Amino acid sequence: AIRMTQSPSSFSASTGDRVTITCRASQGISSYLAWYQQKPGKAPKLLIYAASTLQSGVPSRFSGSGSGTDFTFTISSLQPEDIATYYCQQYHNLPLTFGGGTKVEIK
């Protein structure tokens, strides 16, 4: 199975900060990567697919980049409503696998 490693696992930032999360795949997955946001007590929500394509209705402050094994997720200006855990997911191979998650908190 392809292992997805996210870093950091958690961190705190201030409103307005630029936030970057990385996701590394244990083998090449081309651009078959999605990012999800999960708020406490809620279901995950798709933000980005194909590594960099923003899902319809998702604010433009969210972005993604990368291909192969190394990927980046960025929030250009952190807002209070962005407090959540973020997960990457590869869909290059079965079994589909997720990263361990990155919990983002407000400082």
Partner 1 sequence: EVQLVESGGGLVQPGGSLRLSCVASGFTFSSHAMTWVRQAPGKGLEWVSGINDSGGTTYYADSVKGRFTISRDNSKKKLYLQMNTLRAEDTAEYYCAKSYGSGSLYYFDYWGQGTLVTVSS
What pairing do the DSSP bridges indicate for beta strands 10-13 and 102-106? parallel
CB nearer partner 1, residue 16 or residue 95: 95
Say whether residue 31 binds partner 1 (CB under 8 A): no
Say whether residue 73 binds partner 1 (CB under 8 A): no
- Residue 95 half-sphere exposure toward CB, CA atoms < 13 A: 6
Q: Which residues touch 34 (CB under 8 Å, ≥6 apart)?
A: 46, 48, 49, 50, 88, 89, 91
Among the residue ranges 10-18, 67-75, 76-84, 92-100, the one whose residues contact partner 1 (CB under 8 A): 92-100
CB nearer partner 1, residue 17 or residue 22: 22
Say whether residue 22 binds partner 1 (CB under 8 A): no
| Three-class DSSP category at 103 | strand
**Rounded to whole angstroms, how far apart are CA atoms 90 and 22?**
13
Say whether residue 24 binds partner 1 (CB under 8 A): no
- Binding residues for partner 1, rule: CB under 8 A, are 32, 34, 36, 38, 42-46, 49, 55, 87, 89, 91-101
